[in-house]
């Protein structure tokens, strides 16, 4: 098989025009496939990077997200004094009652409006979320109508730079700082004081409570106690597990990417098939010579399949290279869980690139099968007589 492999490899370079056309066609298909799939990967990574494994997130039973949950002030007072909670330097329990609100803000350059998540956090909220760090300005002070915005969100919406003001819910808030959330779900949020959010937006209750148990045993006890207390009617999950489940937005994007890939790959298969049919027609005498030299029909079939697979593999790798400049580029979309803006990055991972190349090879093999079968079935005498 080695001489046959060398023959097909040389044919790829000798017939470079058709080779380049086939590779470029497949490369464009794979580039689109990788870019769309990298959107879904970016959303999943943003959710996976969110939360602290030491924390428990407490919401109302039956609530699918924080935005649909209600925790009363009485419930919060019971939860925050449960035995087994860690304490800060002042001896206060590490528990933050949060208020989540959906507000509408204008985009930059007057390109329309979009919903944005506004989170009211208690003083302990920042300590419970160490991945959120202040990068410009200062943190808000309670009672002064101040907010802190995600730096990446400020790059997408108007009036969110330090010193600027925006109106929402009948109040005017001043942006006093920008934070970076290490590419987590918090990069899609604005933060203000929790009690100020309740007052400004006329919300009597909270949305969720975030707590940090002392250790794993304490976490298990707290979770069991909360679920057993019928008066509270709440549930507790690990914060990281909650955000991992909040990835339903990635599903439709993956389906879109797969659908586009299937439609475009059909065109790529016909293009590869057409190229290889022409190649078989141009190499009729060469195929006959190979048969005379002792190569069997199945060897001819495998040889042309190998040629198609090689072309497709090169095309898949080139498609990944075409898509690579978009890696890390920040964008946003509508989140199905909160119907607000989700900020995330294109994420082209090694696994995604490997899947794309494998997909390209499959497309190449399917497109090569019929031309390879025709080459293997050519009569030897008729092949040698062809001009």
The pLDDT tens digits of the residues spanning 107-137 come to: 887 778 888 999 999 988 999 999 999 999 9
Q: pTM for the complete prediction?
A: 0.74
Domain boundaries, the chain: 2-48+248-385, 62-232
Tokens 């339903």 locate to 248
Q: What is the pLDDT of residue 307?
A: 80
Q: Which of 200, 135, 189, 138 has its CA nearest to residue 163?
A: 138
What tens digit of pLDDT does each residue of 76-92 get?
999 998 999 999 888 88
As given in the structure block, the two tokens for residue 167 are 């109106």
Q: What is the pLDDT of residues 152-170, one digit of tens each?
A: 999 889 999 999 999 987 8
Report the C-alpha gap between 297 and 84 in whole angstroms.
75
So what's the pLDDT on residue 108?
85
Q: What contacts 228, CB < 8 A, 6 or more positions away?
A: none
pLDDT averaged over every residue in the chain: 83
Average pLDDT over residues 250-260: 64
Q: Which two tokens stand for residue 328?
A: 């890390």
Tell me what pLDDT residue 266 has. Answer: 75
Distance (Å, whole) CA 199 – CA 52: 29
Flag whether pLDDT at 387 surpasses 50: no
Looking at residues 181-194, what average pLDDT do you find? Answer: 90
The shares of helix, strand and coil residues in the chain, as percent rounded to the nearest 5, are 55, 20, 25
Higher pLDDT, 308 or 313: 313
- Quick one: 322 exposed, middle or buried, by C-beta within 10 A (0-12, 13-18, 19+)? middle
- Check residue 54 and give its pLDDT: 93
Percent of the chain whose predicted confidence (pLDDT) is above 90: 33
- pLDDT above 70 covers a percentage of the chain that reads 82
Most confidently predicted of 134-143, 327-336, 344-353, 371-380: 134-143
Q: Which residue has the higher pLDDT, 247 or 366?
A: 366
Closest CA to 382 of 276, 281, 274: 281
């Amino acid at each position: 098989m080695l001489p046959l492999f060398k023959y097909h490899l040389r044919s790829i370079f000798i017939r470079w025009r058709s080779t380049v056309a086939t590779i470029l066609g497949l490369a464009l298909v794979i580039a689109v496939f990788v870019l769309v799939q990298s959107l879904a990967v970016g959303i999943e990574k943003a959710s996976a990077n969110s939360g602290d494994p030491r924390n428990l997130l407490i919401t109302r039973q039956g609530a699918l997200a924080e935005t649909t949950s209600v925790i009363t002030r009485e419930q919060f007072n019971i939860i925050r004094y449960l035995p087994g909670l860690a304490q800060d330097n002042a001896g206060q329990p590490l528990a933050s009652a949060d208020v989540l609100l959906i507000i509408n803000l204008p985009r930059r350059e007057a390109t329309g409006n979009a919903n944005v998540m506004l989170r009211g956090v208690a003083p302990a909220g920042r300590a419970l979320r160490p991945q959120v760090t202040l990068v410009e300005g200062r943190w808000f002070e309670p009672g002064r109508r101040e907010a802190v915005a995600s730096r990446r969100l400020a790059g997408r919406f108007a009036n969110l730079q330090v010193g600027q003001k925006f109106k929402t819910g009948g109040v005017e808030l001043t942006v006093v700082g920008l934070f970076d959330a290490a590419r987590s779900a918090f990069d899609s949020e604005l933060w203000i004081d929790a009690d100020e959010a309740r007052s400004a937006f006329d919300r009597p209750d909270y949305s969720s409570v975030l707590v940090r148990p002392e250790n794993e045993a304490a976490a298990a006890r707290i979770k069991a106690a909360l679920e057993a207390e019928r008066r509270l009617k709440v549930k507790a999950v690990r914060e990281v597990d909650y955000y991992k489940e909040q990835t339903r937005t990635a599903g439709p994007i993956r389906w879109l990417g797969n659908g586009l890939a299937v439609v475009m790959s059909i065109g790529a298969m016909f293009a590869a098939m057409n190229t290889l049919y022409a190649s078989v027609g141009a190499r009729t005498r060469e195929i006959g010579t190979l048969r005379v030299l002792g190569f069997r029909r199945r060897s001819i079939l495998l040889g042309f399949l190998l040629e198609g697979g090689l072309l497709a593999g090169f095309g898949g790798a080139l498609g990944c290279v075409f898509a690579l400049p978009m890696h890390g580029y920040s964008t946003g979309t509508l989140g199905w869980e909160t119907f607000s803006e989700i900020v995330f990055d294109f994420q082209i991972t090694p696994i995604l690139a490997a899947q794309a190349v494998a997909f390209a090879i499959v497309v190449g093999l399917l497109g090569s099968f019929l031309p390879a079968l025709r080459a293997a079935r050519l009569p030897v005498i008729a092949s040698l007589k062809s001009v």
